[in-house]
Amino acid sequence: MYYAKFFAAVSTSLFGGRLSANQVNGIGAILTEWKAKSFDSRWLAYMLAATYHETDNTVCAISETSSAPRLLATFLKYFSAD
C-alpha cells in the first residue's frame, strides 16, 4: 500500500484536504493492524468506514455523555421502579 497516496486521497475526499495528527495516527493504527494480520481488503474498508461513521466523521476519539433523565427516557424498559 502506498501510504502517502492513500492519505492524500482520504484527506481530499473526506476531510477537506487536511488531516490532524490524531486522524493520521488513528487511521495509521488501523492500517498497521491490517497489514500485520493480513485481513481481507473488504474488512479494511469496513473498519475504516465504521470508524469514520462512529466517530462523527472525524476518525478521532470522542466522548459521549448523557444525563440520567435522558438515559431513563431512552432506556426506560431496562430499568425497574425498585
pLDDT band at 81 (very low <50, low <70, confident <90, very high): low
Residues 17-55 as b/e (b if ≥16 CB within 10 A, e otherwise) read: eebeeebeebbeebbeebeeeeeeeeebeebbeebbeee
> DSSP secondary-structure letter at 76?
G
pLDDT band at 18 (very low <50, low <70, confident <90, very high): very high
The domain limits of the chain are 3-78
pTM of the entire structure?
0.69
Residue 45 has what pLDDT? 93
Q: Distance between CA 2 and CA 10 in Å, rounded?
A: 12
> DSSP secondary-structure letter at 78?
G
Residue 64 has what pLDDT? 75
Q: Distance between CA 50 and CA 59 in Å, rounded?
A: 9
Give the tens place of pLDDT for each residue, 29-63. 999 999 899 888 899 999 999 999 999 899 988 77
